Amino acid sequence: MKNNIIPTYTLNKLQMYDECPQKYKLCYIDKVHIVEPISYTATGNNLHNIINHYLKGNDVTRLVEALGAGDKLLWFNFKNSDIKNYKIVKSEYPFNLKVDEYWLAGRIDALFEFDDNYIIADWKTGTSFAPEHVKFQTTFYLLCMYEILKIKKLIQAPEQLSMQYFNLAANSKINITFNQETYMLYRKQILEIIKNINENTNFYCNKTPACKKCKYYRVCPYL
């Protein structure tokens, strides 16, 4: 291994390879830098920041007062969600763990405890949201947090962990359960992707209609 550097695999890296190996190569191996126009709003970051401070017990009154009407509605939906019934374990929870011989790292929005079970919470502020959009995120976070909680001896079975997506724009919640079967499936999926990354000598392009929206579209040798 070059310079004896042990690679760390994040959600973004694994998801990008799963979507398109060539995109992964251009980004993480060739390190092609593409300047993109800023096309997103600050809503998501603002809400995540305020929620983080609030869950840590800080006074966020002035931060909330400075929000626009639309963002205040998102905040109202957060405050009136099921979160008020949960016990916060940690907000903006960074993690780094070893699964087999590979290191995985990431950060979840928050971890809660409820009725001796644990809940991974994720805030969504966009108007369009569906479970299939975050399928890979669900796989990665449930696997990693289960391994961590198991090491800490805070959990004994996958059924004690779940993931909840809070769609603050729609004032709705999607609950995703976990069990031994899905744990084994998620573990296999993640490890297979890492193995493919390490053994790959041909980072092909998947060539889908989404290619035209890819930031590497103009430099991809397959297009």
Q: Tell me: the pLDDT tens digits for 14-70?
A: 999 999 999 999 999 999 988 766 544 455 688 999 999 999 999 999 999 999 999
What would be the CATH architecture of the domain defined by 15-197? Answer: Alpha-Beta Complex (3.90)
Residue 134 has pLDDT above 90, yes or no: no
Residue 130 has pLDDT above 80, yes or no: no
Over residues 168-220, the pLDDT tens digits come to 999 999 999 999 999 999 999 999 999 999 999 889 998 998 899 899 999 99
Beta-bridged to residue 99, according to DSSP, are 102
**pLDDT > 70 fraction of the chain, expressed in percent and rounded:** 92
3-class state of residue 116 by DSSP: coil
**pLDDT > 90 fraction of the chain, expressed in percent and rounded:** 81
Report the pLDDT value the prediction gives residue 38, as an integer from 0 to 100.
54
CA 106 centroid distance within chain:
7
The single residue listed with the structure tokens 């809400």 is 47
Report the pLDDT value the prediction gives residue 37, as an integer from 0 to 100.
62
Check residue 7 and give left, alpha or beta (phi > 0: left; psi -120 to 50: alpha): beta
- Helix, strand, coil % over all residues of the chain, rounded to 5: 45, 20, 30
Asked if 15 and 197 touch (Cβ cutoff 8 Å), the reply is no
| Domain boundaries along the sequence of the chain | 15-197
3-class state of residue 50 by DSSP: helix
Residue 2 has pLDDT above 90, yes or no: no
Q: Give the pair of three-digit tokens for residue 51.
A: 């929620």
Report the pLDDT value the prediction gives residue 86, as an integer from 0 to 100.
96
The single residue listed with the structure tokens 């669900």 is 138
From residue 44, give the alpha-carbon distance in Å to each of 16, 167, 172, 205: 21, 11, 16, 31
